[in-house]
Structure 1
């Protein structure tokens, strides 16, 4: 998938949820939406550049997989739809849930990931809010999952399409009917479910690590679902007033005055 195609899909999905936030908001924020988005869009620019570099690596990786016939999907013979589901599940487990868990539990990784949690106005643009080095780690784990499965490039592209959708869907400041959100959360990550992860204090900060499938949080005991009215965004070890200061945000991992939990 060309970079412009990725950007077009990202813009379409982000734009959709940006509009829906104006009509079905979960939280009535009083903030300058464009000023807030500017910080997250700058971080998105870094992410897109890294994505371009990894696109070249990924292309070479799929050529090698095709020639070597390496990976689990190369040694089993299942219907293609079953192989697709397995590939998506492994990608979601390794490249989303597992790496996200590590980003919270390993000190130097947590310092990189802090930027994602400093956002005090979680909306659709928060899905783009990642430190460049944080994103490099995520992309590396995605490639590990690709190698383990030996999946065709079409499976990986389908995963990417779904991942972008869920990223903006779960971060969007939208309010689904409570019963709908709860029922969907038995299988998928929903907007309400993911908002608990952005609460400013433990233990909720260390819950709901999933991106697409909620089953991993349920299986590994990291699932939580309470009242969204009790959520306060941000992170308790950093001052809220620097949430939209891009220079400060990029320097967080290297700022030794910030004392982390690990």
Structure 2
């Protein structure tokens, strides 16, 4: 276990980049072999918009990376945070760290992105994708991503994490983000079994349905039990899913300038629909 901790402490930017590209590539290939929805769309054209947004979030991530280094140094100096108040085995601390970060920087902020009108404006860009596939996991408006990274720092502070635990979480969240967005069809029983603990591909697809109430369900990223605990979990038939969001122009799903400017439209708000 100590060797694993040391490995993640020394994880390089190149290794993280290779992991991102590797996960994207694997699920991209699987989408072609075992697709959930056989959409008629240009996959590369669709990916271009999402990759441009990925580039913008990667640049923001560099800035937050510098802030995070300062936070880790301060935590190390002051012994601040929950993990400094207990003496658990390393493997228990790692599990707790991942759970705390998954709750604060994924479930909690995701709920707020839907419930707070100002935050929802920017999160609509993620939901405006009318062809959800593995690249949709990279689709975030820059300001949406800033909200997410701010809550990630909050989770680091609350837990008092060492950098190794944080990087373990980041590696896992990349994997689950691409896994849950991937347009892949798992055997129904397998997907359902996975959904009891983790966010499965089918589970997250309901969250991308274009109207309420499904849009406000399944907020988790790694663990599904947050949604089960707080009553936001649902699991239905994927044949009923229509991707997109009801308040943006679906025809401009791949228009990058439209997507960047959309949150600043006057009168942008969610519309209530009957299920």
TM over 0.5: yes
* Aligned equivalent of 2:17: 7
* Aligned equivalent of 1:222: 232
TM-superposed deviation, 1:257: 4.8
* Aligned equivalent of 1:235: 245
Secondary structure in 2 aligned to 1:173?
coil
TM-superposed deviation, 1:62: 0.7
- Say what the alpha-carbon RMSD is for the aligned residues: 1.1
TM-score (norm 1): 0.98
* Aligned equivalent of 1:84: 94
How far apart, in 2, do the equivalents of 1:141 and 1:77 lie? 25
Aligned length: 262
Secondary structure in 2 aligned to 1:22?
helix
How far apart, in 1, do the equivalents of 2:63 and 2:28 lie? 28
TM-superposed deviation, 1:9: 1.1
CA contact (8 A) 1:3 1:52 kept: no
TM-superposed deviation, 1:31: 0.4
Secondary structure in 1 aligned to 2:33?
coil
How far apart, in 2, do the equivalents of 1:128 and 1:118 lie? 13
1:129 to 133, 136, 139: 139
1:99 to 104, 109, 124: 109
How far apart, in 2, do the equivalents of 1:241 and 1:76 lie? 53
TM-score (norm 2): 0.93
* Aligned equivalent of 2:254: 244
CA contact (8 A) 1:14 1:124 kept: yes
Poorly superposed stretches of 4+, deviation over 4 Å = none
For residues 19-75 of structure 1, give each alpha carbon's deviation from its aligned partner in whole angstroms, at most 9, with x where no partner exists.
Answer: 110000000010000100000000000010011111111111111111111111101
How far apart, in 2, do the equivalents of 1:148 and 1:54 lie? 17
* Aligned equivalent of 1:190: 200
In structure 1, runs of 5+ residues without a counterpart are none
CA contact (8 A) 2:126 2:139 kept: yes
Which aligned pairs between 1:107-256 and structure 2 lie closer than 5 A?
A: 107-256=117-266
For residues 217-250 of structure 1, give each alpha carbon's deviation from its aligned partner in whole angstroms, at most 9, with x where no partner exists.
Answer: 0000000000000000001122210100000000
- Pick which of 202-211 and 56-65 moved more: 56-65
TM-superposed deviation, 1:152: 1.1
* Aligned equivalent of 1:61: 71
In structure 2, runs of 5+ residues without a counterpart are 1-10
CA contact (8 A) 1:111 1:260 kept: no
How far apart, in 2, do the equivalents of 1:261 and 1:150 lie? 40
CA contact (8 A) 2:121 2:269 kept: no
